[in-house]
Amino acid sequence: MNDALKPASEPTLSDVAALAGVSRAIASRALSAQPRPVSADKRERVLHAAEALGYRPNSLARGLANKTVNLVAILVNHIHDLSDLDLFDLLLAEIQAIGKQVIFIRVGAGEDAEDFLRDGVAYHVDAALVFADFADAATVRRMFRNNAVLMLNGHHEPGAPSVTMDEDQGIREAVADAAAKGVRSALLLTGRSMSRVEQARIASFRAAMRQHGIALLGELAGDYSYASGRALAQQIDVDATGAVFCTSDAMAMGVLDAHRRYFPGHAPERFRLYGFDNISLTQFDAYPISSIGADKRDYVAQIVRILNRPAGLARHSEHVLVATRFVPRLTG
């Protein structure tokens, strides 16, 4: 088939090289981001040819040859928690800023992960960021044919680096705040308890309350959602309960709405209310919930720093802790 009959398709490096009158190797070097030996005039010709043809390098082919794809996978259970909104937009922006693209993988309840493995649908990526609860590093490594796994779900295994929020710190501050305000008894509303992060939170609350002599009246199992907080709030004995600690802001919002008559003008009348994650919604007037959270910019910066490390994540497994703090608002 001669050129005239060739179907219109994307120009390749060969086309550029042909138009510029150089070899493919020269064209490749001229177009490379790294400095490569090419004479000035040939470089010029190649660049012009590429421009004229509207040439776009094929990332797949480049990745195959390079074994570096500039692709990062983010594994999540889902993205419908309110706190996700604050985090992922920032994370996405920062990862793109270092020249990588983000492939989002939603593994749902957790069983689906096995499907990914079996079907081999997963991409070969430079690194995998694991927010999903279930996943252990080994599974994720197999999933992505890659050792560069960054654990962000509270697990920290010897082989893989991790960035974890030091939630204990913020929890202690919040409980101390309650104790200082005379709280003697409290209820704890929890989320999905199978999660490592959640278990750590619960343990921290228990320890801090014990330390401050606050009686733990009970633990009610929710699922982080507004609806679960709204429903569980019915079980709160407002006369006996000094404070309600929730492991998500959304649950605290549900509690607040259920008992809003006790928060006239948002001043705590019966019990104090504490949320978790310090989501931006707590800045809305209707939900002035005292909360616990880390500086998201700091958290994301730590993740990106590890991602950007030339050595890669595989070798030395660094475990980074990001500080959280108590953020007082009207309810706490």
Partner DNA sequence: CTGTTAGCGCATTCAA
Partner DNA sequence: TTGAATGCGCTAACAG
Which secondary-structure segment (H or E) carries 168?
A: helix 167-180
Alpha-carbon distance values, 236 to 54, 202, 271 (Å): 66, 18, 10
Interaction between residue 199 and DNA (CB under 7 A): no
Contact by Cβ (8 Å): 161, 319: yes
Alpha-carbon distance values, 218 to 86, 184, 185, 186, 236 (Å): 31, 13, 10, 8, 10
Instruction: Find which of a copy of itself, DNA, none residue 13 binds, CB within 5 to 8 Å per kind.
Output: DNA
**Residues 18-37 close enough to bind DNA by CB under 7 A:** 22-26, 28-29, 31-32, 36-37
Instruction: Determine the residue type at 18.
Output: A
Min CB(100)–DNA separation in Å: 16
CA-atom Rg of the chain in angstroms: 26
The single-letter DSSP state of residue 242 is S
Interaction between residue 69 and DNA (CB under 7 A): no
Interaction between residue 98 and a copy of itself (CB under 8 A): no
The most distant pair of C-alpha atoms in the chain lies apart, rounded to whole Å, by 88
For a copy of itself, give the closer residue by CB, 35 or 99.
Answer: 99
Min CB(179)–DNA separation in Å: 59
Q: Which positions touch a copy of itself (CB under 8 A)?
A: 10, 31, 33, 54, 56-61, 63-64, 69-71, 78-80, 82, 84-86, 88-89, 92-93, 96, 99, 101-106, 108, 119-124, 142-143, 145, 226, 230, 253-254, 256-258, 260, 284-287
Q: Which positions touch DNA (CB under 7 A)?
A: 9-10, 12-14, 22-26, 28-29, 31-32, 36-39, 42, 55, 57-58, 61-62, 64-67
